[in-house]
Structure formats: C-alpha cells, structure tokens
Structure 1
C-alpha cells in the first residue's frame, strides 16, 4: 500500500489513572504524564494513546463520558492538556485520544434532558422503547439485560455496556452532527487522531427481536444483533468523510466482529480507518472476548496460526496495529509465558515475537518492564465492573467461588490497570498518597529505575527493538511472509522488500530447538539464545533473534 505518515510511528498506550500521579491524591493525571515525557522519548516513543480523560462519573473508568469538551477534575484541566500538547510537540511525540461515541454517560446533559422532558429532541439522541416489560432478551457486554427501565415511565433505554452507559442513537442525523462537531474540535486543537472505541456497536438490528438464549440467564449475547450490523458502512463512511479524511488524522479501530473478508472496507485504500486491532490472538485463551469465565486451553501452534492468518489478511487489505497488551487484557507474560512469566529471556522472546509484525506496534504501559498479573484474595479487591460480572456469571454457570476467583485473578482487566512500577518502594513511585488501585507487586526487578540502570534489561531490549525498527525501513514498510516451519514451538516470519530480507525466529518453549537454515545470516537483535551455524540455527530455551539475511 501507499506509505502513510502514521505507519512508522511507535505508539505507547497510557492508562491515565495508573501512569503517574502528580498531586498525591492516588490517581494519575495529565501533569503526571507531562513529567514522564522525557522517559517516553528516551524509550523511543513517537506517539501516545491516552485512555479517556474526559469528564466522567467513572462507572467504567472514563469510558462513560459526561462532557466531551472538558477533562475529569482528577486528571486536570484543559490548560493542563494544552500544556501536554505543547510539551509532546517539543519532543516529537503525537497524541491519540480515545473516541467513545457508541454511548455516553447517563450523566451527560443530553441524557439528563431526555429523562426530564420526553418531548425533548434529546429523547431521540438515545434508544428508548415504550414497553411494559423488557423489549427483548439481549444480554449486555457487562452482563444482565441491555434494557434499563426508567423509574417513572413504562419506558426502557438501551445500553450495550453498563446501565450508566446508554447507547447513542446513530440513526438520528442531528445526533451524528453533534458527534462530528465534537471530533473536529479536538482535531482542530492539534491531536493526531483517535483510537476509536467499540465502533462496530453503533448499528443495531432495528427489529429488536428476541433471539435464541445462550446462557442459563435466558438471555443472548447482544453481539449477535448489535455488532457490525448491515448498514453500519453508511455511518462509518460519513464519519471518515466528515472528520478523519479532512485532517489526515490517524485512526485505530477497536472493531470486534469484523471478518477478514470485510477488511477492505475498514482499512483498505479508502477504508473507514487507518488501521485495526485484531483480538483473535489476544483472546485465544477464552471462549470469547465477552465470556472469559470459560477458559480455553491453547498451544503455541494456536498462537502462531492466529497471528499468521491475521497478518496475511491485514497485509492484503491495508495496515495493522500489532499489540500484546492493553487496558482490557491481562498481562502478556502471565497469559503467553505462564510459568516463565518472570524469565527475562522469555520476556525478550515475547517482545521480539510481535514487535516486527506488519503494522504500527503498540506498547502498553508496564509492558516494557515485564509487569505481570496480580493475585487478589477477595472479590472486594476488584474495581473492574466486567471482572465482577464475570465472577457472578461463572458462578451461575457452575463454577465454585474458588474457581470463579481464580478466573478473574487471571483474566481481570484490573491486571493491566494497576499503578505503573517506577521504582522499588511501597507505592512504586506512582504516588505520594494511597494508590486508587492496589499495586501488583513491589519488585526490585520489575520497575523502571532498576531496568534503566541495567544494560541487559527488558527495558533496554525494547529500546533497542525500537531503534532498530526506526533505522530499518523494511521492518516497517516491507512485506511479511511466513516460511514453512518444522518445529511447532518455533515461530518464523520474514520482513522483506526488493533489496533486503530480515527473519524473525522465536523459540516459545523451554526446550532447546534446532532449525535447518542453509543460508548466511547476521544476528541483528538477539536475547543471547541463538547461534547461526553453516546449516542451521540453534535456539536455546526461549531463544529469539532478528536475522539480516543475505539475499
């Protein structure tokens, strides 16, 4: 595809509540981000994606927005944000914000006016149904019905997610105009673009008919009737034409439910978005992204096949956004490495495995130091509403209390939302007060200060991965291919153009492996576990390397 400016970015996701607190209230904020910009620049980051910082009652940690034009007080002020824009620009760092337009908070003035005055135009900004009982049996993403009854009317409103997150009615042109105006105001301010939240939910099956139940609660997943529905392309094309295209902005779609055969529409030459997150590899350990109380056994072969299928499909259509962690996932070392989650050689292998895939790489805060899952002793220790729902759904489906707690300890979104571990101290350098969420661990190894001082650390390995990518255009703009494999635990892929070829080889097992390789090659990046001989490559347990091949 034609080269675009955003293809060569290195993106770092910041979860603002947990990145850096500047005022001792235990909650991260914008001024805390400003104080860590030099850190990000030293790592090599060129763009930051900041999870929602807008005004919100925080029912879903900011993904329930009550004012799109103001910041939540705990994060700071618009003056703080404008200072952040100026300071990032000085360092050559761009900003992505989260665009949450499938729903708002129930405390948004639009919804409040809709409640006060049924004749108001704002009643049609949301999805209301007059009924004596729930209009259908659809289940929300966070459990329970998608319908919530108004207290003083025989009327229900629709929410794909939490009941405090009523869905916006995209069928209403006037509502869409309000959204476009808001988006363009932020682009005018100077941000580079958006990560677009839950965008495939904006179109519903307008029949609103009940469907076959799929759980003991008698409900059915709303993903079957309100995700990537026919007609969504009209809304997405309009959004692209009215907002994204005029500003040459970058957009990264969270677009669950999009099939590989639909990628041309979403990320093709004139696609709705710049790139797309594919969750198939991230969710290989659960029955579905909305049912992680049902864990699934998997093998390295399963992971490789999902990555390969995804990469080839994305390459054929447009551009990808490789990642192994984000604010909705558990920590990658605990997921993919299991008993080896703190093994520094294995951590480097995992980093190399994904970093040179086709697309713009994303790093989540704490990933660069190998942060791992926590272990909580009680349901009361969890903040995430989805984890609490999964616990109760697991119990309803037959899990014991102990089994349900183990499931959410492993898969909870809180695992990635604990405070960033800057140093080895009780509050890990995140705050001078009491952290809003308990830290994962106080570690002498898994903290920024220790790893920046260690030339052989995971942090330094990520820094080198980034530097090599910036210096080697083929690792950004080159094609990707997957050579035939003979060892199921050894991952192979090649990035290449007409002049150069680089091979990524990763042993994702605790056993030594040997791969036939009858061609010359030079080690460019390695975790010290790889040796190239005349006819083969010898891989120590978790050995991994980037090899420059002689064409």
Structure 2
C-alpha cells in the first residue's frame, strides 16, 4: 500500500561530526543548516538527526538528561526550529532520534530517585536489592560489566542499566512513567518533526523473573540479551505507545531492533505493528557474534551475506516495511566491512556497494560520508578512541585472553569511531569540518576522499549517489523501484543480482563484488539505466568488469 514514508530518501547526520559553525571543534545545528543546499543537491528528502538533547555525553548523547532541552554544544531550541523551517523550504523533512529505553543518570527523575527512596521517581527506574553481597543477577550489560550498579549510601541496593552505568533503564512497567514519555514524544511531534528513529526499543521489556543466566565469559557473567531484548509482553507496551503518540500524528517511525526473529516481526511492523518500518541487522551484523562482541573475527562468505540479504527482503515484506542501509553511527565503514582486500576499496567498489543497497525494496538510509566512499581510520592506541563501547570491547577481549595487539585490531576493525570521525568536506586542515582541532581526529584519508574533490567530478562516488537517487525518484521508474516486487536471482558467489518488478516493467540490478571479470546471462534485450562502467552485452551475455554495477530495464 502506498505510504509517503516509503518514498523518502533519508540521510543520517551525526551532528557532533557533520559541520562546526562556531569554531569549537564540535558539529552543531547551525552547521547542518549551512549544508542544507548540499543535501538538497544530493537528492535526499529527509534527515535523521542523532541525539542533540541535553546530555553529559557519556555515550555521545544517547544518555539524555533533559528531553526538552538542547545540548549547548549543538545550539538551542531556536536553532532546531530554524532547521525544521529551512529544511522544509527545501522539501526536506526532519526525524529525531528517540531514546526511551533509558535516560542519563543525570536526568532529574533519576537524581530524585537516588535522593529519596520513597519518591515516586524511584519507580521510574529499576531498583533491586542484591543477594549475599552480590548484584541481583549475573547479567552482563551490552557495554560489558554487570547490568547492576550499586546505589551510593544504600546497603545492598542496585539500579539496572542495559548499557552504560550512566544510562539507567526506565521502568516500562510503570504507567505514570510511560505517560510522561508519551507527553514528551507528542511535544516533539507538535513542534513539526516528521517522526523518529527509535533507539534500542526492543529492550524496554525485561524478564520479570530476574533469574541468573548461564555464564558465557571469563568475567563470570551472562549476556543480558536473553532477559532484556524481545521479551514476551513487549507488544502491550508497543500498542499503547503507538496509540498514544504515533497514530495521532501520522508520523514516520523506524525501529532499531537487533535480533528480532522473523516470525515476531508483526509486533514491530505491518498492519498491527508499532512502527512504520524497522532496520534488519541480520545481514549487516554478519561480522560480529550473536552477543554483539567484536571478537573473535567472524568468518563469513559473500554467499552467506547474499543469502541473509535475500532472506531479509523475503521475510520483512511478508509483514511490513524496512529501512535499508549500508552504514550507521554504530558500525564501521561498509567498504572495510564488505571488501576484504584493502587495495580493492576503491571508488568503483563504493559505487557497487551503494547500488546494491539503494535499489533493494525499502526506504534507503544513507549515512554521512558514505556518499563519498569514506573508509575506516586506523588508530595506533586504545587511547585514540573516544567511543565508550570501543574501550569496553577492548577490555573484554583482554579478559578473554587476547593480546593487546589483537584487541586493538578488533577495535580498529569495528569501532563506532570509524563512522563518527568528522565529515570530510575538503582537503584543507581539519577537512573543512572546522577551523580548529576537532573533538575526534579527522579521517586520515580526508585529503583524497572529500566532498570538494568529488562534487564537480562526474565520475565520483558522490556523483554516482546523485544519479542513483535521481533514478529512484524518476517518475518513469519510481513506482517499480519503490513498490515493485523484489526477485532474487541465482548467480555466482560474488555477484549480487536481483530484479524489481511490477505490472509495468522489470528492472535488473546487478553488482559484481570481486576483482575479476565475469558474465551474467540475459534472457531478453535490455536498456541501460545506470552503470559505473561501460556496458558490454554480447550474445545475450552481460560482461561485468571488476566491481561493475549496472541497472538495466528489461525489454
């Protein structure tokens, strides 16, 4: 069924690293406003803004101290209002990050809960007594260490945190807490934003039996995922959340929900689901363990990746809709993740990966810097990393017996800092992001990989992204590329080929993700819609050069 949000092209902005307008080395809202014409020229229709709320920044803004205030590093609420208006003038909508599994420990609710055990705010979070001078359970948090933190000045009392100890989980069993959250959500939607990307939302329901889990690490703890993620009964919270907020505003919502079994998608998306769409991580997390550890190196093949990608498309659309993506603020760069040989991480390969994801069924999400083919940094010491999960994963790897060199390799490969380095706008000092030392080191390749170098080059990655977006939005093909069926095609391991098809036409998307030539059979005549190399068709065979990506209209 047609819906406006299925037709968007979304661009994810990590505000701290996008553009610094006030010379303090930190990106800000006015910096985003300065780049709206760039984003309009790229062709995007919606911006997802990562958290800009008031926060002590333990987890770079995903620890919110006040949902109604903007962190001064980013600007003011007046700047947000200006961004909404100026984006709208360019036909660009804004969605915000919604973080409602937890708050910061500096949020007024939590401060009151700590100060006064009899305060109603004590019930806004999860407090439990320990047993035999031990925490209530042996669960490990996502960022390592116990999920329980001792409450200062209280004997044997602990509070619960799925993530950092500075991110206490909200108690969704409490109806009053839920009402306060709904009031905040509606306040933001009334302000004129188009919706939300909803953070870690499948964590809001906990297993209420509070039992220990099987020890699965050298730290003597058990992964919390079995007890805190995708729990039965979460659908009750989802139904109420949707009815009291999202439905009222007819907004767009996209759920970050890792590890959801496909047979449980119905509570997330579709007719009875809470959200417009969700991200599926089953193929994008192919390089990490099921408990989201970055060690050891996961062996995977392109055939496995392709099968997971095709399965995702098959299963998601039985139920609802998804947001498709190559990168986000929690991952490494896709060229590093999907192209094994460093010498092959070329602009041509970036175009092929971009095309592979852009024409899947779903709403495409582009992460800042992806459109110019940015690749990972390589840092020489753990002290060069800002991301608290990078430090946590490093410590865990050492605990599990890996050497410092091995642990650093894991972190370099998967660190969230890889996508959080400042955006590379030009080849000047600090890459045009700022005129002072940025909060995080610039990408080391910024002099070669930057916007200024690509913006007027018709053969650049940036130009190819513009062409791909223009093709998807072209009225001749838009209906097929948005709403058409997804049909996977058999091919050799490193060729990913699929068709988008409706009653009007059939479009073939084919990507050769290897450093050698190959051929792909065509059963009928075809018209070239887009390609990152010369198209060569002979005897009903499409000859594909290394990393060639081609889109054909099948006659």
Q: Could you tell me which residue of structure 1 aligns to residue 152 of structure 2?
A: 151
Counterpart secondary structure, 1:129: strand
Higher alpha-carbon deviation: 20-29 or 277-286: 277-286
Correspondent of 2:220 among 210, 218, 221: 218
- Take 2:345 and 2:52, find their aligned partners in 1: how far apart are those partners? 32
Q: In structure 2, what is the equivalent of residue 37 of structure 1?
A: 36
Offset of 1:531 from its aligned partner?
1.8
Give 2:372's aligned residue.
Answer: 369
1:252 aligns with 2:245: no
Comparing 290-299 with 466-475, greater Cα deviation is found at: 290-299
Partner of 1:483: 489
Per the alignment, residue 351 of structure 2 pairs with 348
1:498 is aligned to 2:503: yes
Aligned to 1:389: 392
Which residue is equivalent to 1:208?
Answer: 210
Q: Is the 8 A contact 2:225 2:291 kept in 1?
A: no
In 2, Cα distance between the equivalents of 1:501 and 1:23? 50
* Deviation string, structure 1 residues 238-270 (Cα, Å, up to 9, x no partner): 101110011000000001121111122211123
C-alpha distance after superposition, 1:192-214 (max 9, x if no partner): 00000000000000111101111
Cross-structure match for 2:381: 378
CA distance in 2, matches of 1:297, 1:523: 36
Q: How much has 1:40 moved relative to structure 2?
A: 0.1
Q: Secondary structure at the match of 1:97?
A: strand
Q: Tell me the CA shift for residue 488 of structure 1.
A: 1.5
Where do 1:30-69 residues align within 5 Å? Answer: 30-69=29-68
| Matched residue SS, 1:273 | coil
Match of 2:405 in 1: 402
Residue in 2 that maps onto 1:435 = 438
Tell me the residue number matched to 1:237: 239
Task: Give the deviation of 1:276 after TM superposition.
Answer: 0.6
Structure 2 residue matching 1:148: 3-state secondary structure: strand
CA-to-aligned-CA distance 1:55-97 (integer Å, 9 cap, x gap) = 0000000000000001001000000110101100100000010
| 1:529 Cα deviation from its structure 2 partner | 5.0
Residues 214-223 or 531-540, more deviating: 531-540
Aligned length: 548
Q: Per the alignment, do residues 41 and 289 of structure 1 end up closer, same or farther by CA in structure 2, a change over 3 Å counting?
A: farther
Deviation at 1:140?
Answer: 0.1
Residue aligned with 1:69, SS: strand
Number of the residue aligned with 1:453: 456
**Contact 1:341–1:372 (8 Å) recurs in 2:** no
For the 8 Å contact 2:522–2:540, the answer to whether it is kept is yes
Residue ranges of structure 2 left out of the alignment (5+ in a row) = none
In the alignment, the residues of structure 1 paired with residue 250 and residue 517 of structure 2 have an alpha-carbon distance, to the nearest angstrom, of: 48
State the alpha-carbon separation in 2 of the partners of residues 301 and 529 from structure 1: 26
For residue 341 of structure 1, report the CA deviation from its aligned partner: 5.1
Q: 1:541 aligns with which of 516, 537, 546?
A: 546
Secondary structure class of the residue paired with 1:427: helix
Conserved 8 A contact 1:140-1:221: yes
Q: Give the alignment's Cα RMSD to 1 decimal.
A: 1.0
8 Å CA contact 1:213, 1:220 repeated in 2:
yes
Distance (whole Å) between structure 2 residues aligned to residue 220 and residue 190 of structure 1: 43
The range that moved more, 282-291 or 41-50, is: 282-291
3-state SS, counterpart of residue 121 of structure 2: helix
Contact 2:223 2:291 in 1 (8 A): no
Distance 2:248 2:172 in 1: 21
1:534 Cα deviation after fit:
3.0
Q: Hey, what does 1:312 align to over in structure 2?
A: 314
Supply the distance in 2 between the matched residues of 1:317 and 1:336 (Cα, whole angstroms).
28
Q: CA separation in 2, counterparts of 1:386 and 1:529?
A: 44
The structural deviation recorded for 1:340 is 4.2
State how far apart, in whole Å, the 1-side matches of 2:440 and 2:5 are.
34
Aligned twin of 2:138? 137
| Unmatched tracts of structure 1, length 5 or more | none
Within 5 Å, which residues of 2 pair with 1:91-102? 91-102=90-101
Q: TM-score, normalised by structure 2?
A: 0.97
Distance 1:94 1:30 in 2: 15
Instruction: Return the alpha-carbon distance in structure 2 between the equivalents of residues 119 and 264 of structure 1.
Output: 39
Query: How big is the shift at 1:295?
Result: 1.6
Q: What is the SS of the residue equivalent to 2:392?
A: helix
Contact conserved, 1:492 with 1:506, CA < 8 A, in 2? yes
1:415 is matched with: 418
Task: Please say if residues 15 and 29 of structure 2, whose CA atoms lie closer than 8 Å, have aligned partners that are also in contact.
Answer: yes
Name 1:532's counterpart in structure 2.
537
Distance in 1, Cα, partners of 2:100 & 2:411: 28
8 Å Cα contact 1:523/1:547 also seen in 2: yes
CA deviations on 1:184-230 (whole Å, 9 max, x unpaired) are: 00000000000000000000001111011111111011001110101
TM-score between both structures, scaled by the size of structure 1: 0.98
Out of 510, 516, 522, which is 2:527 matched to? Answer: 522
